[in-house]
Amino acid sequence: MLRHCCLIIVILLQLLILGCKAQNKHPVFPPESFSVIEAKLPDGRPVIGSVNTAYKSYGEKKSYPWSLQIQIALKQDSVMKNGLPLESEIDVANKLQDELTNEIGKVVTLHYIGHIYNDSFLDVYAYIDQPEKANEYLQKKTKAPDVKREFSYEIKQDKDWAEVAPFLK
């Protein structure tokens, strides 16, 4: 009896391992490979952020044709003269970004491309497959009284991922 149970466990583990390997032949998400981006706005103020450059050669872009951009307004007294946030504001903005992307990721497949701090905003870039569900969540969240910072968002069709192409060079 014990030998029979052990055999069943071994078979189940092998099936689990083989099943996982089969699923990885066409992964939904590429391995993460983040790079820092630094640039300047036309007026000379800095832009800084991070982007997952693994999406440069991602073969499943057409399956996620909806660009989601979220603009989080930074608290003005927590921003330096050059428009970049103080460390305390980075913490608040990043937590809100994580909350938004994690919650959206529960209702749609969300490909997080990266974020950029510039001109008193944190701009978040992602691609999704179901814009209606993301919009429904974001509409509720923009009106929620417990949101730490105001934010806006835009969802638009971008089959070629042109919105983020400059970041993925």
Q: Is 50 left (phi over 0), alpha (psi -120 to 50) or beta?
A: beta
Quote the radius of gyration of the chain (alpha carbons, Å). 20
pLDDT digits (tens, 9 = 90+) for 49-64: 999 999 999 999 999 9
* Spatial separation of the C-alpha atoms in residues 52 and 125, rounded to whole Å: 10
* Spatial separation of the C-alpha atoms in residues 155 and 114, rounded to whole Å: 16
pLDDT digits (tens, 9 = 90+) for 71-120: 999 999 999 999 999 999 999 999 999 999 999 999 999 999 999 999 99
Q: In what order do the strands lie in the sheet with 66-73?
A: 34-40, 46-52, 110-118, 121-128, 66-73, 151-157
Encoding tokens for residue 162? 């042109």
Residue 55 near residue 164 (C-beta atoms within 8 A): yes
Predicted local confidence at residue 165, as pLDDT? 96
Does 142 have pLDDT greater than 60? yes
Does 160 have pLDDT greater than 50? yes
Does 48 have pLDDT greater than 50? yes
pLDDT (mean) for 24-42: 84
**Could you give all domains of the chain from N- to C-terminal order, each with its CATH number?**
28-168 (3.30.70)
**Least-confidence region, from 20-29, 113-122, 142-151:** 20-29
* Spatial separation of the C-alpha atoms in residues 100 and 97, rounded to whole Å: 5
**Which helix (H) or strand (E) covers residue 100, if one does?**
helix 87-107
* Spatial separation of the C-alpha atoms in residues 127 and 112, rounded to whole Å: 7
What percent of the chain is modeled with pLDDT above 90?
83
In this structure, the dihedral spanned by the alpha carbons of residues 168, 86, 78 and 72, taken in order and rounded to 10 degrees, is 20
- Residue 164: partners with Cβ closer than 8 Å, 6 or more residues away: 51, 55, 67, 113, 114, 125, 127
Predicted local confidence at residue 169, as pLDDT? 86
